[in-house]
Amino acid sequence: MQNFGFLLRRLRRDAVLTQEELAELTGLSTRSISDLERGVRAPRRSTEKLLTTALRLPAPAASEFTDAARSRRFAVCE
């Protein structure tokens, strides 16, 4: 399983989006996108869903993304 921040950055770039464009699509701030990609903070479930929708992830990629996000949430709580 990939690191959530690395996976988010790769998926954003694969979608040919800047951090600013992804922020606009999700309603999040550019700072939030940057923090998520750098691993400064873990995504909330609502944020995870916004990102999955904005990135238009197909089922297999969405599942990998969700697994990485949940793994990151638990790691932060420890």
The CATH number covering residue 73 comes to 1.10.260.40
What is the number of structural domains in the chain? 1
Answer whether residue 74 shows pLDDT above 60.
Answer: no
Residue 17 gets which letter from DSSP?
-
- Report percent pLDDT > 90 for the chain: 72
The whole-number pLDDT of residue 29 equals 98
Residue 3: Cβ-neighbour burial (10 angstroms; 0-12, 13-18, 19+): middle
Residue 12: exposure state from Cβ atoms within 10 A (0-12, 13-18, ≥19): buried
Residue 40 has pLDDT above 60, yes or no: yes
Domain carrying residue 45: 4-77
Phi/psi of residue 3, nearest 5 degrees: -60, 135
For the entire predicted model, the pTM comes to: 0.86
Q: Which of 14-23, 28-37, 64-73 has the lowest mean pLDDT?
A: 64-73
Q: Name the residue among 11, 1, 18 with its Cα closest to residue 64.
A: 1
pLDDT of residue 75 exceeding 80? no
What was the pLDDT predicted at 48?
93
